[in-house]
Amino acid sequence: MGERVPREKAEEYEKFLIERVGPDYSSVEGLKNMYSRRRNEEKVVHFLPLIIKVIS
């Protein structure tokens, strides 16, 4: 699920992803890696977290 954030709050939200969401997801069993895509538009910024997990 992606998030749409007002442009003026985008930096704060990206910091939240790095400092809080990343460490929370690191506890998921089988997690291989996590990336976040960012797309800037005129009034909003879109964030899309990408999670790579090994499934046994």
| pLDDT tens digit sequence for 3-55 | 999 999 999 999 998 898 888 877 888 888 888 899 999 999 999 988 888 88
Is the pLDDT at 56 greater than 80? The verdict is: no
Distances (CA, A) of 18 to 7, 24, 42, 43, 56: 17, 10, 23, 22, 27
Is pLDDT larger for residue 2 or for residue 12?
A: 12
Query: Looking at residue 6, what is its pLDDT?
Result: 97
pTM listed for this prediction? 0.75
CA distance 12 to 31: 25
pLDDT tier at 1 (50, 70, 90 boundaries)? low
List the domain range (segments joined by +) for residue 40: 3-53
Contact 43, 6 (CB under 8 A): yes
Total tally of structural domains belonging to the chain: 1
